[in-house]
Structure 1
Amino acid sequence: MKVHVDYNKCTGLGICESLAPDVFEVNDDGELELKTDTVPDGQLSDVEAAVDGCPTEALSIEYDE
């Protein structure tokens, strides 16, 4: 599964970082960085919570077929 960020929508609030810190990080400039673009084993629910909690709807998950 892949994690996608629409950087045109992202405002760097950091909700995603607080919910899935192994995947998301807001840098010192307030910009979101992906630590990995794949969902780590056992962390799907955390990443889904981050996607659902994003107020700007900038995050999405591409599920494996």
Structure 2
Amino acid sequence: MTKKIDIDWGLCESNGVCMGINPDIFELGDDDMLTVHQEVVTPEIESDVREAVRQCPRQAISIVE
């Protein structure tokens, strides 16, 4: 089963905590909008994504299967 990053856009405040964990996955643009560059959670990035899930102050990030 493929795991994917899911953002609850109603909760996301673009605090940038996730970008601080891995800016190759999460990026805040000049307009303060979050972009997810890689939605599929591969083994190489799973640890960073799980850390972003844990640290998101609004709990807006999750992993779905």
Which category describes the TM-score, using the shorter chain as reference length?
A: 0.7 to 0.9
2:62 maps to 60
The 3 A distance-change label for structure 1 pair 40 and 20 is farther
| Structure 1 unaligned residues grouped into runs of 5+ | none
Runs of at least 5 residues in structure 2 that lack an aligned partner in the other structure? none
Which deviations, in whole Å up to 9, do the C-alpha atoms of 1:4-37 show, x marking residues without a partner?
A: 0011100101000111222111111111111021
* Alignment RMSD (CA, Å): 1.1
Give the conservation status (yes or no) of the 8 Å contact 1:4–1:59.
yes
Question: 1:41: Cα distance to partner?
Answer: 3.5
Specify the code of the residue in structure 2 equivalent to 1:7. W
AA partner of residue 18 (structure 1): G
1:50 match: 52
Matched, 1:6 2:8: yes
Partner of 1:17: 19
SS in 1 for 2:19: helix
* Number of residue pairs aligned between Structure 1 and Structure 2: 63
Measure, in 1, the Cα distance between the counterparts of 2:29 and 2:41.
20
The residue type equivalent to 1:26 in the other structure is L
Cross-structure match for 1:29: 31
